[in-house]
Amino acid sequence: MRKRSYPLASAAFLFGALAACPPVHAQIEGSIAGVVTDPSGLAVAEASISVLEITTHAERKLSSDGAGRYMAADLAPGTYSLEVAHRGFQVSRIDGLQLTAGRTLWSDVELRIGASRDAVVVTAESQPVDTQAGAWGSAVSQQQLAALPLNGRDVFDLASQQIGVTTPASAYASINTGLGVHISVNGSRPSENAFRLDGIYINDSSGSAPASAAGYLLGIEAIAELNLVTAPFSAEYGRSDGGVLTAVSKAGTNEYHGAAYEYLRNSAFDAKNFFDPASEPAPAFHRNQFGALIGGPIVKDKLFFLANYEGIRIASNDTQTIVTPDAQARSGLLPVKGALTQVTLSSKIAPYLGFYPLPNGVDLGNGTGDYSTAVPTGTREDFATGRLDYVRSERWRFNTRYTFDDSDSTTGDPFRVWSYRNNSHNNLVQSTGQFVPSPNTVQEIRLAFSQIRNGRLASSAPGDAAAAFVPGQNVGALQVTGLSDFGGDSARTTPMYFTLSDAQIGYSLTRIVGAHKFTAGASYDRILLDDTGDLDRAGYYQFSSLQSFLAAQPSKLNILAPNSGTLRHWRLQQFSGYVQDDVRASRRLTFAVGLRYEMATTPVERDGKVASLRNPLTDTSIVVGGPLFVNPSKRNFAPRVSLAWDPTGHGRTVVRAGAGIFYDLLGTRELLVSGLYMPPFYTRYQVSKPHSPAL
């Protein structure tokens, strides 16, 4: 397998980007296929076949070809009944066919000679392995999602338990790197995976797993199954070269079903951790996660609904320990070469010295000591989704889904000065229409619009405004060697907001011709990204020691230049298409050959705030006005080939091979860096040995 990386302008963001993988039918739908034979093993042509979905009574009718082959493609996951009839043979019916997303379920039928009014009914046996050439992956069933314990009930949490998936020890959650679960599929980076919900691309702005401000992707009660493709050799997959994880949502049925639940955690059941003070009770912790789901028919066999709500409320305290100046240091007394010595104590440093609490723990013997306190955290999240399915006829089927999520998470700090807040607001509406013009042809069109806003804000107490480095701003951040950072990165990188909007349309076609399944797809995406990510707007002072801090002698000042900022409004478009032929060469051998093409326009900034350094080795000045980079994506043709061989013919062992070209397209995670922090629109001063912390 060859892998190529190009700086293609594309945007990966929460609840959007259908263009990344337009032909979504293979991800969230499956097929039932097989061969119809008589008792002597000869093919039965023109046998009448009915595929019935048990829960909604949606039916697909087709017939076997001259070689006895049949395939009902692009079926929704669920439980099916297969009925086969032909003149001179008994009717054969197979019940309990469990079809999962992205899978081809093989069910060969042997008709018995007899009157057609007689019927032979059998119950389907489970097929251990999918023998299709493109089935590189595994699935988490609805039973597993319901039975396995999940802390937080995140939709993609169980992906880390699949074969070939690991959780990198170096990964950490942040608004820049992703607040959701970080997984590596076959050694790829967490930002190189594709996460999807009902075929819609839902990676966050960092390119990682989607999550709210609380760090979760809720709604697992409304998820039917989770499908993971570890090696995307099919031409339908694009944008990234990692794994493809698809969550398939539940739909309403002909029976009313519902659930109500609450998960409770409480500090009354907790033991203290190592860092909690022995003289105080365990820090308070209260977590409630609750919700309800209901689904059923509006019009039997025609119109179905499903609605789900889930909420989280968390109030907790977390013991944190910081290093602060002791009482003698605040008087200008520091141990120097083993003797307590009076050092310079500047009056200018008094307001900032007051931000550090007195130690209440271990005396470190160098003018500092430990201070431990319980830091409060509060989290609220409300998630809701609704879905309507309409089966107009055997040929027409529609569904519409709306998802809403609003979350807010607030954390204090041990200095009792800062309040850190993450918030998110997500909306997604999508509609799908499926048309079956003939038993061997299926067409689908998908429309979707998504909008996501992620934000992070740090604020200080109003009474601290007099100590601000910049009038009208928060108190700035401080770094003193030997002391814990005051404010730190959370205070320096604020405010930070990402708002992403995506309007998209996608089309796919499936055509069955004998042993061939031809598929094709195309899509168009219009992407808007509004973002800001200021750094050191309120100022950031660094001191080389506690003594220099007491003397108000900083070693460095970092501060954003006046009239400089990072607010940008990016616009780009994406196009993609593919063709593929899946062939069942024999009962044991299948292979697939496909070609994918994808491209994107170079991002354009609405206000013309585009600057770049064309050649870092030779250029001496920055080019203003664009383009942001040279765009090679017009040549992004990606051939793919794969095969699967079943050596026993029993579907229990499969040998696979595949090869292809994959383009690891740049997304919003790169655009946030290369598009924001470039002069002259963004300038940050670094001043060595500034005079004092008072500006």
Separation between Cα atoms, residue 683 and residue 565, nearest integer Å: 8
Convert the pLDDT of each residue in 63-95 to its tens digit.
999 999 999 999 988 899 999 999 989 999 999
Per the model's pLDDT, the better-predicted residue between 432 and 182 turns out to be 432
> What does the alpha-carbon distance between residue 665 and residue 663 come to, in Å, rounded to a whole number?
6
Rounded Cα gap, residues 84 and 120, in angstroms: 10
Task: Tell me what pLDDT residue 267 has.
Answer: 79
Q: Which distant-in-sequence residues (6+ apart) come within 8 Å of 269 by Cβ?
A: none
* 253 pLDDT higher than 60: yes
Predicted confidence band at 579 (pLDDT cuts at 50, 70, 90)?
Answer: very high
The CA-based angle 335-340-342, given to 5 degrees, is 100
Is beta strand 59-63 parallel, antiparallel or unpaired with respect to 48-53? antiparallel
* Count of Cβ atoms closer than 10 Å to residue 262 Cβ: 10
Whether 140 contacts 101, CB under 8 Å: no
How far is 628 from 619, CA to CA, in rounded Å?
15
Asked: is 26-123 a CATH 2.60.40.1120 domain? The reply is yes
| Residues in Cβ contact with 299 at an 8 Å cutoff, skipping those fewer than 6 apart | none
Residue 272 predicted with pLDDT over 80: no
Average pLDDT over every residue of 104-131:
79
Tens of pLDDT, residues 295-342: 999 999 999 999 999 999 999 988 899 999 999 999 999 998 878 889
In this prediction, what percent of the chain has a pLDDT beyond 70? 94
Specify the range with the lowest mean pLDDT, choosing from 54-58, 201-205, 338-342, 508-512: 201-205
Bridge partners, residue 289, by sequence: 263, 312
Could you tell me the pLDDT band of residue 27, with boundaries at 50, 70 and 90?
A: low
Is the model more confident about 488 or about 131?
488
Cα of first residue to Cα of last residue in the chain, in angstroms, is 58
pLDDT of residue 21 exceeding 50 = no
Q: What is the pTM of this model?
A: 0.86
Tell me the longest C-alpha to C-alpha distance in the chain.
109
pLDDT digits (tens, 9 = 90+) for 606-637: 999 999 888 888 888 888 988 888 888 888 99
pLDDT digits (tens, 9 = 90+) for 151-190: 778 888 777 777 788 888 777 777 777 788 888 888 888 8
| Structure token digits, residue 197 | 């919900």
Predicted local confidence at residue 24, as pLDDT: 43
Q: What is the predicted pLDDT for the residue at 693?
A: 54
Q: What is the pLDDT of residues 365-418, one digit of tens each?
A: 899 999 999 899 999 999 999 999 999 998 999 999 999 999 999 998 999 888
| DSSP of 568-596 | EEEEEEEEEEEEEEEEE-SSSEEEEEEEE
- The mean pLDDT of 109-134, rounded to a whole number, is 77
C-beta atoms surrounding 425 within 10 Å: 17
Measured torsion, CA atoms of residues 293, 299, 302, 303, in degrees rounded to the nearest 10: -40
Q: Is the pLDDT of residue 23 over 60?
A: no
- For the chain, the average pLDDT equals 86
Q: In this predicted structure, what is the pLDDT of residue 494?
A: 87
- 157 φψ region: left (φ > 0), alpha (ψ -120 to 50), beta (else): alpha
SS3 472: coil
pLDDT at 184: 84
Closest listed residue to residue 420, CA positions, set 356, 358, 490? 490
Cα–Cα distance, 69 to 88 (Å, whole number): 19
Q: What is the pLDDT of residue 117?
A: 67
Q: Which are the contacts of 586, defined by CB distance < 8 A and separation ≥ 6?
A: none
Is residue 657 helix, strand or coil?
strand
What is the identity of the amino acid at 504?
Q
Residue 124 has pLDDT above 80, yes or no: no
What is the rounded distance in angstroms from the CA atom of residue 532 to the CA atom of residue 510? Answer: 43
Does residue 5 carry a pLDDT above 70? no
Find how far residue 463's CA is from the centre of its chain. 40
pLDDT digits (tens, 9 = 90+) for 484-536: 999 988 889 888 998 888 888 989 999 999 999 999 999 898 989 899 989 99
pLDDT digits (tens, 9 = 90+) for 453-479: 889 998 887 666 778 888 888 888 999
* Cα distance between residue 498 and residue 530, in whole Å: 6
Q: Where are the domains of the chain?
A: 26-123
Rounded CA-CA distance 66/107 in Å is 18
The confidence score (pLDDT) of residue 692 equals 61
- C-alpha distances in angstroms, 538 versus 50, 474, 568? 69, 6, 20
Question: Does the pLDDT of residue 11 top 70, yes or no?
Answer: no
Q: Are strands 137-140 and 104-106 parallel, antiparallel or unpaired?
A: unpaired
Compute the Cα dihedral for 11, 12, 17, 23 and give only its sign.
Answer: positive
CA atoms within 13 A on the CB side of 56: 30
> What pLDDT score does 169 carry?
74
Residue 583: pLDDT band by 50, 70, 90 thresholds? very high
pLDDT score, position 18 = 31
d(CA 501, CA 606): 15
DSSP-assigned letters across all residues of 111-134: PPBS-TT-EEEEEPPP-SS--STT
Could you tell me if 136 and 103 are in contact, meaning their C-beta atoms sit under 8 angstroms apart? Answer: no
Q: Are 33 and 510 in contact (CB under 8 A)?
A: no
